[in-house]
Amino acid sequence: MKISRLSIVVFILMGCLKLDGQESDISKKGAMYFYWGYNRSTYSLTNLHFNGPEYDFTLYELKGRDRPTKFGWGYFNPSRLTIPQYNLRAGYYLTDRITISLGTDHMKFILEENQRTRMSGVITAVASEKYEGSYLNEPINLENDLLQFEHSDGFNFASIDLAYLIPLYKKHKFSVLLNVGIGGIWIITKTKVKVFNEGLDNDFHIAGYAGAGKIGPRIVYNNRFFLLWEVKGGYASLPSVLIKNSDPEIGDHNLSFLESYIAVGANFKIKKRKKKE
- Phi/psi for 69 (5° steps) reads -80, 135
Domain count within the chain: 1
Give domain status of residue 130, yes or no.
Answer: no
Confidence (pLDDT) at 272:
65
**DSSP code at position 244:** S
Half-sphere CA count of 95, side-chain side, radius 13 A: 7
The residues of the chain scoring below 70 in pLDDT are 1-26, 272-277
- What is d(CA 91, CA 107) in angstroms, rounded to the nearest whole number? 20
The predicted-structure confidence for 184-235, as pLDDT tens digits, reads as follows 999 999 999 999 999 899 999 999 999 999 999 999 999 999 999 999 999 9
Give domain status of residue 139, yes or no.
Answer: no
Question: What are the CA-CA distances from residue 267 to residues 24, 82, 167, 168 (Å)?
Answer: 11, 22, 16, 18
Confidence (pLDDT) at 123:
98
- The per-type count for the chain, helices as H runs and strands as E runs, is 1, 15
- What is d(CA 35, CA 227) in angstroms, rounded to the nearest whole number? 9
- Which H or E run includes 116? strand 116-123
| Rg of the chain over all Cα atoms, to the nearest angstrom | 22
Give domain status of residue 58, yes or no.
Answer: no
Give domain status of residue 73, yes or no.
Answer: yes
Give domain status of residue 33, yes or no.
Answer: yes
Give domain status of residue 113, yes or no.
Answer: no
**Where in the sequence is the domain holding 30, given as residue range(s)?**
4-45+63-106+145-268
- CB 39 within 8 Å of CB 85: yes
**DSSP code at position 62:** E
Give domain status of residue 171, yes or no.
Answer: yes
The predicted-structure confidence for 16-35, as pLDDT tens digits, reads as follows 344 443 334 557 899 999 99
Residue 218 belongs to a domain with what CATH number?
2.40.160.20
Give domain status of residue 57, yes or no.
Answer: no
Locate the DSSP E strands across 172-224: 174-189, 192-195, 198-201, 205-221
Confidence (pLDDT) at 74:
76
Confidence (pLDDT) at 80:
82
